Amino acid sequence: MILLIALSSPLWAWPITKWSVSRLLDSSTSYRVRSVRVIGARQLSADELIRFSAIPEGTPLFRVNLKSAGERLRAHPWVRTATVLRRLPDTIELRIQEEEPVALINAQTIWMVTTDGVLLPPCYSPRACDLPLLRVPRMSASYEPGDRLRDSSACALLAQSAAAWKYAPGVWSDLSELFWKNGEMRAVFQRGNIEIRLGDGTEEIGWKSLDRLLAQLQVQDRLTDVESVDLRFAGRMVVRHAQHRYATQSLATGIQRARESL
């Protein structure tokens, strides 16, 4: 009698009910993993991400440890964030945000580099060939996937590539290389063979002004008329034309002044 009263008590009812429902769901053939869906992957294949999640097909849906699966996915060098969800009756959903590479660098091997300097192993994607190359001599440091770039010269070039990616995507997509020359940061484009002289403070206003200039030159079919653009001076952009003529533009007002070189 005492045992029956104890089992009928509300204190026991919930654990027993929970256990019964769990056993029922585990034994049901309807609530088992039959598909794993990947959302948000652009560079990585769905098959690779599914392997990293390590969720076997046929596992009872409510036995999948979502937190552990997310941690395994975030251990992949290319995965920035990962969320794992259940979708009744038989699907697991992997929501992925990949790292965003903004440059390539040769440090004993070719690495992709994110805006915050994380090194990613090359991904076999056509987009990888379009990233600007950071050309730094004597890069002898040994790196592993997921390490951060430590070379100060390379980090300075990376900051410029990241600024171009953020403020002037059209300019960034056409960058071929960023490099040091005579103690200055410089960049060249895939088209037009224009050399850009960069300063430490070349950020939003400089890149946006350069974007407008190049768009105007392209519309006028005059990209080949410009040899170099100098962004080292605060608030000004100096354009050197092929005829050795210079034009100085105020980045704030758009006023231009030209002079013939001596």
Angle between helices 152-167 and 204-219 (to 10 degrees): 60
Contact in structure between 63 and 26 (CB atoms under 8 Å): yes
CA atoms of 184 and 228, how far apart (whole Å): 14
Domain boundaries defined on the chain: 28-98, 101-260
* pLDDT, position 51: 94
Whose tokens are 């034994």? That residue is: 27
Whose tokens are 């004993």? That residue is: 108
Q: Does domain 101-260 have CATH number 3.40.50.10960?
A: yes
Mean pLDDT by 10 residues, the chain (262 residues): 47 49 55 94 91 93 95 92 95 94 88 91 70 85 85 93 94 94 91 84 84 87 86 85 67 47 32
Q: Compute how many other C-beta atoms are within 10 angstroms of the C-beta atom of residue 202.
A: 24
* pLDDT, position 224: 82
* pLDDT, position 9: 52
Contacts of residue 151, defined as CB under 8 A and 6 or more positions apart, other chains included, come to: 107, 136, 139, 141
Q: Do domains 28-98 and 101-260 have the same CATH topology?
A: no
Largest CA distance in the chain: 111
Fold of 28-98: Ubiquitin-like (UB roll) (3.10.20)
Contact in structure between 113 and 119 (CB atoms under 8 Å): yes
* pLDDT, position 165: 94
Structure tokens at 157: 């070039």
* Cα separation of the two ends of the chain: 111
